[in-house]
Amino acid sequence: MNQDELLRQLYDFTLVGNAPEVLSLTNQGLAMGLGPEMLLYEALIPSLEEVGARFERGDFFVPEMLIAGRAMAGALEVLRPLLAETGAEPIGKIVMGTVKGDVHDIGKNLVNIMFEGAGFEVIDLGVQVSPEKFIDAIKEHKPDIVGFSAFLTTTMPMFKANINALQKAGMREQVIIMVGGAPVTQEYADVVGADGYASDASAAVVRAKELLSQRRALARA
């Protein structure tokens, strides 16, 4: 099998949620010398985008989305150590979670992996995270950044609810707030009063580093 065939098969088996094949092709791809980013961005992520498009058209239903998501999550576990390889001292601490009411975590997990790869310490609170749980975690871990992920238009308003809760607790200025997720835009992030937004995992790392260095420069001034 050549590189193009492997990527095609990885795409096709993710689409139908065949987790054992997805795992095996991911391992084969790595053994062939394909980079983890290539497997992610040229097969796994485009395949999940197609799953979403089919769901919107009514060709796929929740069970199909679920098994495709599980197949992707299995591959991500294999890719995680390769994407997150770093020997460096942590450059900052991030508390991350998917907001209350939302169970999507693949995108958040990928952002976490890229943060870890860039040298951040990540405290992952999981999914369906309430404002109270975010506040407790900020008190406990004292992160530089708190990241909220939302993947549904119906759960995006939780960004504002979280920020209001932080304000009420007198903690808003202690942390940089970043938001992201499939339906989120820069405009929405501005409206809710977040400090930063990114459209994907790589952009999230770049934005987090920018925000952190701005904050540290201000603290030194």
- Please select the residue that binds ligand B1M; options are 160, 182, 193, 209, rule is CB under 6 A: 182
Report whether 161 contacts 131 (CB < 8 A). Answer: yes
110 forms part of the interface with ligand B1M (CB under 6 A): yes
| Cβ neighbour number for residue 11 with a 10 Å cutoff | 19
CB of 220 to ligand B1M, least distance (A): 25
45 forms part of the interface with ligand B1M (CB under 6 A): yes
- Please select the residue that binds ligand B1M; options are 18, 19, 38, 52, rule is CB under 6 A: 52
Report whether 60 contacts 54 (CB < 8 A). Answer: yes
105 forms part of the interface with ligand B1M (CB under 6 A): yes
41 forms part of the interface with ligand B1M (CB under 6 A): no
What residues pair up with 123 in beta bridges, in sequence order?
A: 95
- Please select the residue that binds ligand B1M; options are 158, 179, 192, 211, rule is CB under 6 A: 179
What are the C-alpha distances in Å from 216 to residues 24, 125, 137, 211?
44, 25, 22, 9
- Please select the residue that binds ligand B1M; options are 201, 205, 211, 212, rule is CB under 6 A: 201
Q: How far is CA 139 from the centre of its chain?
A: 23
Which one, of 207, 155, 209, 163, lies nearest residue 181 by Cα? 155
Interacting residue ranges for ligand B1M, rule: CB under 6 A: 45, 48-49, 51-52, 55-56, 62, 65-66, 68-69, 101-108, 110-111, 147-149, 151-153, 178-183, 198, 200-201, 204
